[in-house]
Chains A and B, each alone.
Chain A
Amino acid sequence: MAMQQAISSTSVRKAPARRHDRGRLMQEAAMLAPAVILLTLFLILPFLLSFWTAMTNQPLVPRPTPVRFVWFNNFIRIFQDDLFWTALWNVSRFTFWIIPAQCGLAFATALLLHQKLPFRNLLRGMFFLPAITSMVVVCVIWGTLFQYPTGPFNQILGFLSGGAIQPIDWLGDPQWAMFSLVLLSAWQAYGFQMIVYLAGLQGIPDELYDAAKIDGANVFRRFWHVTMPGLRPTHVFGLVITTIQAFKLYTQVAILTQGGPKSSTETVVHYMVRAGFEEQKMGYASAVSVILFVIVLVIALIQRQLLRRFDV
């Protein structure tokens, strides 16, 4: 970060000094142009358009009736729709569960794979494998595993408990559906956080461990007083990334539960896609996307403050 600031400040300082050098200025502009054009075209413009669309009754496909400017009607309707609040609540619930599940799993495997194990790199690759497997494929496979009442998960649970645990309707029971999605999602995505944690672990200087050892700290104390503080920025980074990912929950829902049962897995993005493509209300869907944007922005800002505090 400091490096970047230094670079940008020098170029800013140099530019006015060479103002007479038009050729150089043109060169800089030309080099910037591709990025600026692409960013404007594919990021800034669509973004502004969605703000604009959110205030109209724009349908998905052209219709004989005129498109009108409806101001904040879409927003008012969204806030009056119980289903939207359910969706928001569900996503928050999902986030609340997935952070400990996914980051915990990632942290545990990272600690394990940081040891000097035989075939360490092979193991790392294996554990990382789900993260690069397509979510769609993962969903289809897990859909089979979750099957009720005779799916593998239920068989295993029944076998381990000697038949005491009744088969669970993983995806069909409103009490269980979201939890099942948490399990699946944590398993699919923890590989990424694991790599981040591994990098974090490697970033802690060995001297600190040596010093701790000399001071007589046992394994547990070394972990608590050297590893944990050293990983603080990594923890915060994991938190930020996982939260933002969690708020975008969609694929799993679209493939496995379609928001049901009883709206227990409806998410904000799924709600948005449904409004836009099933019910063909583009304006309304855009308004949902704007709200989602604001929510994620607020979370990101809060977490940025956290990052600052930990001096990352």
Chain B
Amino acid sequence: MGKRLLWSLVLSSALSAIGAQAAEKTAIQVMHQGDPGFVAAYGKVAERFEAANPDVDVQFIYAPHDAYNEKFSAAVMAKQLPDVMELDAPFLANYVWSGYLQPIKPLIDKDLLDDMTESNIAQGTYPIDKDLYAIGLTDSSVVLYGNKKYLEAIGARIPKSVDDAWTREEFEGYLEKLSKLDGVKWPIDTFRGYGIKTEWITYAYGPILQSAGCDLIDRKAWKSEGTLDSDTCVDALAMMQKWVKNGWVVPQSAGTNQFFAQGNPAALALGGHWVYAEAAATMKDDIVVLPLPKFGAKGASPDGTWIWAITKTSAHPDISGKFISFLLKDKEFRTYVASQSGYPGLKSFAAESPLYAAGGPMAIAFEQASKTAVARPPHPAYPTITSAFMQAVDEVFNGGDPKEALTSAAKKIDQDIEDNDGYPPFGEEQ
């Protein structure tokens, strides 16, 4: 009986091998995230790619946004890395340092490489060997959206460019005035509704700390104690805590659309560029786009988004590169991304996006990329850096002591770096 079982196993595996051969297609796996609209768009690009390359079969592996890194870790452990993968830019250093990705330059069409904007190159570059490991059609930013009606009612100054952004005093003064204005339930929505364990926290609130004059980690010594728990950072986080305490910020449980919800209960919104499409659709001309306020001597804004890379284990790096090039050039895909207020990461795509062109409603957002953008720390310890910071922000927003919360976050980050012997060559070179 045992023999019969064995034979049937051998036979079936042989049959499936023949079946695979009969198809004569090279399969590449593409791991990605995205909302349903983007998932559908990727599927259509793959169909067109397969039509152009009949011998290739593109297989998608969807991993939900919030559990993406966990799912990726599972793939690593199972030794089943995809060929092509989408990744969130700040995690690039960790992936490259761990040895999962290969340099992408030789595999991508040259005209695309020449077409990349500076911040797009920056988000895909590993700081140690300065090589490019990932490329995207888009980048990202966060701006301050304002409800024109309310801002006019309190006589607020409307900045025309990044250079004359609101100062901290102006901003807090306006928040206070807005809080007393009829119709305004909350002066500002900072999209706490995204949750307390999401990259949004580090992405959007980190620049407030940087603008105030500190950072999540010292980017030369790669040490967090003395930086994240410095008085400047403590003061900046205490400032945000005050906004929450005063009832100026939309609470987490009130959802994520209070700025453009019916009746416009929120007057301002510290929101990603992707909010524009939705907000503009419901608020029409009432929306005004402002640069992020200056909380200290200089402005700071976030950048980095989900970009495409090719794994080291890929058996078909050339086809993978071809697919990424195809995706970034695909006309219909670009039209879709532009309709979602996609933030240009290619010069040609910027030209196709009137939203971000000079005079366009989101021009200020694009201006921020060159003037104030600060990348999240490109260090392999980033998973711990962001996790520790999220923890601290949740603690502080709910009444915890900012000094205590940031001290414990800084300690956690430094411990992780220590545990990994400083993630060489990081500590050594810089």
Contacts and interface: CB of A to CB of B under 8 A. Distances in A.
Interface of A: 57, 59-66, 77, 82-83, 147-149, 169-172, 174, 258-264, 274, 277-281
28 contacts: A57-B419, A60-B73, A61-B77, A62-B98, A65-B420, A65-B421, A77-B415, A82-B408, A148-B251, A171-B253, A172-B252, A259-B196, A260-B197, A260-B394, A261-B397, A262-B398, A263-B391, A263-B395, A264-B398, A274-B387, A277-B73, A278-B70, A278-B387, A279-B383, A279-B387, A279-B416, A280-B73, A281-B416
A261 B251 CA distance: 11
Contact of A258 (B77, B197, B408, B419): B197
Contacts, number: 82
A278 B424 CA distance: 21
B254 A63 contact: no
A65 to B, nearest CB: 5
Contacts of B69: 278
Contact of B77 (A60, A169, A264): A60
Given A149-B254, A280-B73, A63 B398 contact: no
Contacts of B394: 259-263
Interface string B236-278: 0000000000000001111000000000000000000000000
B256 to A, nearest CB: 13
Nearest to B97: A64
Q: How would you classify the secondary structure of chain B's contact residues: helix, strand, loop or mixed?
A: helix
Contacts of B197: 258-260, 278
A174 B76 contact: no
Contacts of A261: 196, 252, 394, 397-398
Nearest to B76: A61
Interface residues of B, number: 33
A169 B416 contact: no
A69 to B, nearest CB: 13
Interface of B: 69-70, 73, 76-77, 97-99, 195-197, 251-254, 383-384, 387, 391, 394-395, 397-400, 408, 415-416, 419-421, 423-424
Given A148-B251, A261-B252, A281-B419, A64 B383 contact: no
A245 to B, nearest CB: 24
Contacts of B416: 279, 281
A7 B251 CA distance: 63
Nearest to B396: A262
Nearest to B75: A61
Contacts of A171: 253
A62 to B, nearest CB: 7
A61 B73 contact: yes
A153 B421 CA distance: 51
A261 B423 CA distance: 32
A170 B394 CA distance: 16
A62 B76 contact: yes
Contacts of B252: 172, 261
A56 B211 CA distance: 39
Contact of A262 (B253, B254, B384, B400): B400
Nearest to B251: A172
A173 to B, nearest CB: 9
B398 A260 contact: yes
A64 B99 contact: yes
Nearest to A275: B387
- For the complex of A and B, list the 5 residue pairs with the smallest distance between their C-beta atoms, beginning with the closest: A262-B398, A172-B253, A148-B253, A258-B197, A260-B196
Contacts of B421: 65-66
Contacts of B97: 64
A83 B391 contact: yes
Contacts of B76: 61-62
Nearest to A278: B387
Contacts of A169: 251, 253
A281 B383 CA distance: 11
A262 B405 CA distance: 10
Contacts of A148: 251, 253-254
Nearest to B399: A262
B68 to A, nearest CB: 11
Given A82-B408, A258-B197, A261-B252, A174 B398 contact: yes
A27 B77 CA distance: 39
